[in-house]
Amino acid sequence: MTLFHFGNCFALAYFPYFITYKCSGLSEYNAFWRCVQAGATYLFVQLCKMLFLATFFPTWEGGAGVYDFVGEFMKATVDMADLLGLHLVMSRNAGKGEYKIMVAAMGWATAELVMSRCIPLWVGARGIEFDWKYIQMSFDSNISLVHYIAMAAVVWMFTRYDLPKSFRLPVTVLLGLCVYKAFLMELFVHVFLLGSWTALLVKAVLTGAISLCSLFLFITLVHSN
Amino acid sequence: MFEEASEVFDNMFKSSFPLTLTFIVFLPAVLILVSPLPAEAAHEFTVYRMQQYDLQGQNYGSRNAILNTEARTVEAEVLSRRCVMMRLADFSYEKYQKALRQSAGAVVIILPKNMSTMPQDIVQQFMELEPELLATETIVPVYFAMEDDELLSIYTQTQVSSSSQGSSSAAEVLLHSATANGFQMVTSGAQSKAVSDWAITSLEGRLAGVGGEDLPTIVVVAHYDSFGVAPWLSYGADSNGSGVAVLLELARLFSRLYSHKRTQAGYNLLFFLSGGGKFNYQGTKRWLEDNLDHTESSLLQDNVAFVLCLDTLGNGDGLHLHVSKPPKEGSPQHALLKELQMVVSEQYPDVKFSMVHKKINLADDTLAWEHERFGIRRLPAFTLSHLESHRSAARNSIMDMRPHVDLKKLSRNTKLIAEALARVIYNLTEKQVQEEQLASLVDWLTTQPRAAQLVDKDSTVVSTLEYYLGRYLKDVKRHFVRADKRDPEFVFYDQLKQTMNAYRVKPAIFDLLLALCIAAYLGVVYLAVQVRGHSHYAHYAQILMPGSDYMFFSFMVVTVRLGNEVHALIFKRWRWDGRPAYVSQNTTSSSRPSLIRTCEGRFPESDIILKQLKTQSLLTAAHLTLDSHGAGWHGNVYTKWFTTCHFGSDYL
pLDDT at B215 over 50: yes
Tens-place pLDDT, residues B573-619: 443 333 333 333 433 333 333 332 233 333 334 444 445 444 444 44
Burial of B496 (0-12, 13-18, 19+ CB in 10 A): buried
DSSP-derived letter for residue B475 is E
B439: Cβ contacts below 8 Å, ≥ 6 apart: B407
Asked if B302 and B213 count as a contact pair (C-beta separation under 8 A), the reply is: no
B108: Cβ contacts below 8 Å, ≥ 6 apart: B47, B71, B83, B84, B85, B86, B142, B143, B144, B145, B185, B500
> Which candidate in B31, B44, B181, B529 is best for mutational testing of the A interface (most A CBs within 10 A)?
B529
The single-letter code of the amino acid at B636 is N
B520 near A CB under 8 A: no
The span from the CA of B77 to the CA of A70, in Å, is 58
Return the higher-pLDDT residue of B265 and A25. Answer: B265
Q: Which of B51, B43, B21 minimizes the C-alpha distance to B453? A: B51
The single-letter code of the amino acid at A105 is A
pLDDT at residue A204, rounded to an integer: 92
Section B542-570 average pLDDT: 41
- B107 has which bridge partners? B84, B142
pLDDT at residue B593, rounded to an integer: 34
One DSSP character per residue, B232-275 reads GG---IIIIIIHHHHHHHHHHHHHHHHHSTTT--SSEEEEEEES
pLDDT at B643 over 50: no
For chain A, the farthest-separated pair of C-alpha atoms sits apart, in whole angstroms, at 57
pLDDT at B134 over 90: no
The span from the CA of B606 to the CA of B578, in Å, is 11
Return the higher-pLDDT residue of B632 and B512. Answer: B512
- B144 has which bridge partners? B48, B109
pLDDT at residue B367, rounded to an integer: 86
B60: Cβ contacts below 8 Å, ≥ 6 apart: B51, B52, B53, B54, B134, B135, B137
Cis peptide before B636 (omega within 30 of 0): no
A144 near B CB under 8 A: no
Tell me if residue B285 falls in helix, strand or coil: helix
> Which candidate in B25, B161, B526, B626 is best for mutational testing of the A interface (most A CBs within 10 A)?
B526
CB < 8 Å to B514, chain A = 5, 8, 135
pLDDT at B32 over 60: no
Return the higher-pLDDT residue of B37 and A65. Answer: A65
Nearest to B503 among A95, A96, A128 (CB): A128
B505 near A CB under 8 A: yes
pLDDT at residue B520, rounded to an integer: 92
Q: What is the ipTM of this complex?
A: 0.87
Q: How close does chain B come to A96, measured CA to CA in Å?
A: 9
**Quick check: A135 and B504 CB within 8 A?**
no
A24 near B CB under 8 A: yes
**For a pLDDT cut of 70, what percent of chain B falls above it?**
72
Section B350-371 average pLDDT: 86
Domain count, chain A: 1
What count of CB pairs under 8 Å joins A to B?
91
B522 near A CB under 8 A: yes
CB < 8 Å to B37, chain A = 123, 126-128
pLDDT at residue B223, rounded to an integer: 92
pLDDT at residue B541, rounded to an integer: 35
pLDDT at residue B651, rounded to an integer: 29
Range among B153-157, B210-214, B433-437 rated most confident: B153-157
Q: How close does chain A come to B561, measured CA to CA in Å?
A: 27
Instruction: Find the closest chain A residue to B536 by CA distance.
Output: A219
A68 near B CB under 8 A: no
A18 near B CB under 8 A: no
The span from the CA of B152 to the CA of B157, in Å, is 9
Instruction: Give me the domain span that covers residue A80.
Output: 1-224
B residues 527-546 lying closer than 8 A (beta carbon) to A = 529-530, 533, 539
Asked if B436 and B214 count as a contact pair (C-beta separation under 8 A), the reply is: no
**What angle do helix axes A133-158 and A97-116 make, rounded to 10 degrees?**
150
- B73 has which bridge partners? B85
- Tell me the pLDDT of chain B averaged across its residues: 74
- Write phi, then psi, for B11 (nearest 5 degrees): -60, -45
Confidence of residue B222 (pLDDT cuts 50, 70, 90): very high
Section B150-168 average pLDDT: 78
The span from the CA of B251 to the CA of B271, in Å, is 7
Return the higher-pLDDT residue of B450 and B211. Answer: B450
pLDDT at residue B652, rounded to an integer: 25
Spans in chain A with pLDDT lower than 70: 1, 25, 27-30, 59-66, 95, 225
Q: B412-434 as b/e, with b when 16 or more CB fall inside 10 Å?
A: bbbbbbbbbbbbbbeeeeebebe
Tens-place pLDDT, residues B375-408: 888 888 889 888 888 888 888 888 888 888 888 8
Q: What is the CA radius of gyration of chain A?
A: 18
Nearest to B506 among A1, A122, A127 (CB): A1
Section B293-299 average pLDDT: 75
Range among B156-170, B228-242, B552-566 rated most confident: B228-242
Instruction: Find the closest chain B residue to A127 by CA distance.
Output: B37
